[in-house]
Amino acid sequence: MKVELRKHISEILLSLQIPISFEVYNCNNEVLPKWTEQLQLTHEFLVCCEKTAEIKKLQSFLGKPIFEIENHIYWFDGNRTVAIGLAEIEILPERTEKKIDCLKTRTALPAWLDDFIFDHLNAEYAPDFKTFGYNLDSTKEDNLKYLGTYFPRSYAESFCIFDNIFQNMNYQNTLSENKSLNILSVGCGTGGDLIGLLTIVEKYCHNVSEIKIWAIDGNEEALEIFENIIRQFRFQTSKIIELHVIKNIFPSILDVDLQQIKEYTFDFILSFKMICEIILSGAGSNDNSYFDFVMKFTPLLSSKGLCLLLDVTTKAEHNNSFNPILMNWQVNQALLKLEIFQTLLPLPCNFYEQVCMEQCFTQQKFQVSHKQKTNDISKVCYRVIGRVEFINRLVSRRKNVKYILQTDKQNMTTAFCPHSIGEIIMDGYKLIN
């Protein structure tokens, strides 16, 4: 493996015309340089090079974070050997765990929606990750299987995340000033994330009388299904729903056409499980897509707007880095450039993103029930982003807090943000009300 990795790196440096020397170390059985004693060794191999001015080009090509230390740059490769960026410990005793106020992660489809997608649209529950790893070319039959399987999951994820945010009293007070809302969904598909958000708006925003939606996707069959669901949703609300469907096929985030929306700002921007498809289809050329998304779309947020960027926790075959690692690293890098924007959730990212250099694998589990499946589980990573001045109004900074970022009850482990240290244990995904 080490020999093949050395050859692979040599070819990359040659193709990028970066004439620097490098070393590959096996972290498991080789003597490492002294400067590595201060590192957390997260993968099987450590690749070390002399410093170069082409670090951004190299990082973009590799699709993984590159770090600087002393006169070196380095990155990790090969199999992951620890839970990256997370300290795993035994799960908290039951009596202590009950005191932790955790994010609600379980829900069910509303009766009207359950009936409509399964009885009227003939959706089918048929999980198939490989088939639905890339949905741009999905047929009508494929979209109905997606509708019955992944639409409910997206609904639950969006519903639960926004239900928590809308309970925040500072956020509620802000929304009470709005009579209308602008929503943008990039890669909307059949619209599970949008319907989850609209259900929350219906629940909390009685003052809102008009909702304008811009939905971008390249699959015409999926857009048709989404339009049918929106028509049905109009019977569930007294609010005026104005829908703008934009069919746009884009091979990369940079290719998304903003012509039809450039004059607007948005109270909500959503992207659910779309960037993983772009990364997969790009075979390496689009591995920087989370960075590109944040740079391109967060400037479209209104002064009180929120962007929810959510994806699956798998990885593309060509890439050794899992989507959560790519997302967390690239979002942090983008927000360092966009200084007027900041993460809201997870909370540790809100506090530590400007100093965090971890390759962090985060994961949240949600459950949804419907006619064809009870407690169907999805595993996702996500970031919620907004303008700094607004985000600071929603977050209460607390000292001496240790934030949970992942819990695996089956394996009896709990993973914490490595930057957060304290005696008080809190859920890193739960915004305090």
Q: In this structure, which amino acid lies at residue 29?
A: N
Residue spans of the domains in the chain: they are: 2-80, 96-427
Please tell me the distance from the alpha carbon of residue 116 to that of residue 109, in angstroms, as a whole number: 11
On average, the pLDDT of the chain sits at 87
Q: In the structure, what pLDDT confidence band is assigned to residue 129 with cuts at 50, 70 and 90?
A: low
* CATH of span 96-427: 3.40.50.150
Which string of b and e fits 139-148 if b means at least 16 CB within 10 Å?
A: eeebbbbbbb
Q: How far apart are CA 428 and CA 387, in angstroms?
A: 20
Q: How confident is the model at residue 141 (pLDDT cuts 50, 70, 90)?
A: confident
Amino acid at 146: Y
User: Across residues 115-132, what is the average pLDDT?
Assistant: 85
φ, ψ of residue 22 to 5 degrees: the values are: -150, 165
What would the pLDDT profile of 33-78 be if each residue is shown by its tens digit? 877 766 667 678 888 888 888 777 777 677 667 777 777 788 888 7
pLDDT in tens, 236-263: 999 999 999 999 888 899 999 999 998 9
Residue 378: strand pairing partners = 366
Distance between CA 208 and CA 240 in Å, rounded?
Answer: 9
pLDDT digits (tens, 9 = 90+) for 299-328: 999 999 999 999 999 988 887 789 999 999
Q: Write out pLDDT tens, residues 197-231.
A: 999 999 999 999 999 999 999 899 999 999 999 99
List CB contacts of 207: < 8 A, sequence separation 6 or more: 175, 176, 178, 179
Task: Give the pLDDT of residue 93.
Answer: 47
Whether the pLDDT of residue 22 is over 50: the answer is yes
